[in-house]
C-alpha cells in the first residue's frame, strides 16, 4: 500500500497553528533525559547524588596518613511511567461524506493537532505536579497574586536558590497567567525609559528578571492544603533534618503543604504526607534547629508558581517501543511539536472498512535537586 502519511506531515504542522494550544512553561524549562531511549516503561534510572563534604580537618604535618574518609553516595530515582496513545478513527463512508463537505483531510489534520495537544498537556501537568511538591522552600503570600507592586518576589526566590547553592545560570520561573497579567502591569517594566526595553510594552513578552527566564503555563497547579491543626514538634531536630516528628495535633498534613515552625520564618515544602507521626520536608531540610513542643503551622491554599534551575527537574521522553517483528500498523512517522520540541509517533492501524490513527509517546518526570527549586506562592 502506498505511504499515506508522508504528504500529511506538512499538513499536520500547519494544523498546529489553527487548533487552540495551552501555554507550556515547564517543558521548555526543564532538563531532557535522552538516556530514556534505553529504558522500558516501569524501569528505573538512578541518578547519583553526592553528599556535601563535612570531613574537613586541619592539615597538620605528620608521619602517618589521615584516616580514610568514606562517603555514602545517594541517588535519586527516575522512572519512565507512562506510555500514552491518543487515537481517533474514520470509516470509509465517513471519509467519503466529509469529502463532499468540509474535507476529510482538513478535519484529520486538526484531529492530529488535538492529539498532540492532549499529550503535551499531560506532560506539562505531570511536570507541574512533581515540581511544586519537590520544591525546597516557599516565598510569598498564599492566596495573593505575586508581583503586586514591585519585583521583590523574584528577588526572594533568587535568594532561596542562592542560599541553597543553586547554579546561578540557566534559571527559569514558570508562573500562571494571573501572575503574568500582574507582572505586565508593573510600571518599571512597561516604561521603556525604566526597563531599557519596550518589548513588554509593545509585544507583551515577559522579560528576564533577576536571572530568571519567565514563562507562563496553563498547568500551574492550585494546591489544596491538608486540614492538620494543633501539631507540635516531637523531640529535637537538627539543622538539615528532613524527617519531622509531630505530635498532639489532628487531621492531615499533605505533600505540597507549606509549613512554618515556631521561631522560624522559613516556609518549608512538605515532600511526603504525615504518616505514623512523621512527615518529610524537601532538601536541604531545616535551616534552624527545632526543639520539642514548637508549633507547626500549615499554610493556606495557594497557586504553585515556581523558580528553579534547569537541572532541578528532568523530563524523559521517547517513542513507543514496537516489537522487532513490527505490529499491525501500515505506516508510522515521527512528528515534532514545534511549540515544545517533543517528538511523537503518528501511526495508522487498518481495520475492516476503517482506519484508526494513533498519536503516541512515552515519558516520565522527576525532581532531582529540590535545593534548586522554590515555590512562589500565589
Provide the residue ranges of all domains of the chain, joining segments of one domain with +: 1-47+76-222+305-371, 225-300
Task: Give how far Cα 96 sits from Cα of 103, 111, 112, 355, Å.
Answer: 9, 17, 19, 13
C-alpha cell at 133: 511538591
Signed CA dihedral, 133, 138, 141, 146: sign only: negative
pLDDT digits (tens, 9 = 90+) for 291-313: 999 999 999 999 999 999 999 99
* Average pLDDT for 47-63: 76
Average pLDDT, whole number, for the chain?
87
φ, ψ at 136 (rounded to 5°): -75, -55
**pLDDT above 60: residue 69:** yes
**pLDDT above 50: residue 204:** no
Look at residue 199 in the predicted model and tell me its pLDDT. 47
Q: Which residue has the higher pLDDT, 36 or 370?
A: 370
| Residues 6+ positions from 325 with CB-CB distance below 8 Å | none
| Residues 6+ positions from 26 with CB-CB distance below 8 Å | 124, 127, 128, 131, 174, 217, 219, 313
pLDDT digits (tens, 9 = 90+) for 138-159: 999 999 999 988 999 999 999 9
Task: Give how far Cα 55 sits from Cα of 66, 135, 163, 175, 231, Å.
Answer: 11, 28, 21, 40, 36
Neighbours of 340 (CB within 10 A): 19
SS3 263: coil
The answer to which of 97-106, 237-246, 315-324 has the lowest mean pLDDT is 97-106
Angle among Cα 309, 314, 320 to the nearest 5 degrees reads 155
- 225-300 fold: Elongation Factor Tu (Ef-tu); domain 3 (2.40.30)
**pLDDT above 80: residue 71:** no
Query: Binning pLDDT at 50, 70 and 90, where does residue 201 land?
Result: very low
Query: Binning pLDDT at 50, 70 and 90, where does residue 188 land?
Result: low
Placement of cell 486540614 in the chain: 227
- 260 DSSP assignment: E
Placement of cell 515519558 in the chain: 363
Look at residue 65 in the predicted model and tell me its pLDDT. 77
Compute the distance between CA of residue 138 and CA of residue 281 in angstroms, rounded to an integer: 12
Look up the pTM and report it.
0.86
Express as a percent the part of the chain with pLDDT over 90.
65
Query: Binning pLDDT at 50, 70 and 90, where does residue 377 land?
Result: very high
pLDDT digits (tens, 9 = 90+) for 28-44: 999 987 566 666 777 67
Amino acid at each position: 500500500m502506498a505511504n499515506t502519511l508522508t504528504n500529511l506531515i506538512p499538513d499536520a504542522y500547519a494544523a498546529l497553528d489553527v487548533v487552540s494550544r495551552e501555554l507550556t512553561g515547564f517543558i521548555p524549562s526543564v532538563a531532557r533525559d535522552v538516556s530514556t531511549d534505553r529504558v522500558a516503561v516501569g524501569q528505573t534510572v538512578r541518578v547519583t547524588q553526592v553528599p556535601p563534604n563535612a570531613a574537613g580537618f586541619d592539615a597538620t604535618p605528620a608521619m602517618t596518613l589521615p584516616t580514610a574518609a568514606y562517603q555514602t553516595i545517594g541517588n535519586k530515582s527516575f522512572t519512565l511511567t507512562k506510555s500514552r496513545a491518543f487515537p481517533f478513527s474514520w470509516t470509509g463512508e465517513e471519509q467519503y461524506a466529509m469529502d463532499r463537505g468540509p474535507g476529510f483531510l482538513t478535519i484529520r489534520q486538526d484531529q492530529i493537532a488535538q492529539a498532540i495537544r492532549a499529550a503535551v498537556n499531560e506532560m506539562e501537568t505531570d511536570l507541574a505536579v512533581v515540581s511544586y511538591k519537590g520544591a525546597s522552600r516557599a516565598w510569598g503570600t498564599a492566596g495573593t497574586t505575586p508581583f503586586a507592586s514591585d519585583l521583590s518576589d523574584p528577588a526572594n526566590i533568587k535568594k532561596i536558590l542562592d542560599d541553597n547553592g543553586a547554579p546561578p545560570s540557566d534559571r527559569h520561573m514558570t508562573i500562571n497567567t494571573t501572575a503574568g497579567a500582574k507582572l505586565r502591569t508593573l510600571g518599571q517594566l512597561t516604561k521603556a525609559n525604566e526597563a531599557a526595553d519596550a518589548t513588554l510594552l509593545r509585544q507583551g513578552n515577559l522579560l528576564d528578571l533577576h536571572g530568571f527566564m519567565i514563562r507562563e503555563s496553563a498547568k500551574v497547579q492550585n494546591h489544596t492544603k491538608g486540614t492538620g491543626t494543633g501539631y507540635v514538634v516531637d523531640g529535637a531536630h537538627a539543622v538539615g533534618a528532613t524527617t519531622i516528628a509531630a505530635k498532639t495535633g489532628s487531621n492531615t498534613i499533605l505533600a505540597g503543604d507549606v509549613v512554618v515552625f515556631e521561631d522560624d520564618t522559613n516556609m518549608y515544602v512538605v515532600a511526603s504526607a504525615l504518616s505514623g507521626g512523621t512527615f518529610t520536608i524537601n532538601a536541604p531540610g531545616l535551616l534552624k534547629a527545632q526543639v520539642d513542643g514548637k508549633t507547626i503551622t500549615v499554610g493556606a491554599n495557594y497557586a504553585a508558581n515556581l523558580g528553579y534551575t534547569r537541572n532541578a527537574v528532568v523530563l524523559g521522553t521517547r517513542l513507543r517501543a514496537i516489537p522487532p517483528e513490527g505490529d499491525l500498523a501500515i505506516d508510522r512517522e515521527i512528528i515534532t511539536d514545534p511549540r515544545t520540541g517533543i517528538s511523537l509517533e503518528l501511526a495508522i492501524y487498518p481495520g475492516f472498512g476503517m482506519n484508526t490513527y494513533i498519536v503516541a509517546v512515552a515519558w516520565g518526570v522527576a525532581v532531582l535537586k529540590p535545593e534548586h527549586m522554590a515555590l512562589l506562592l500565589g
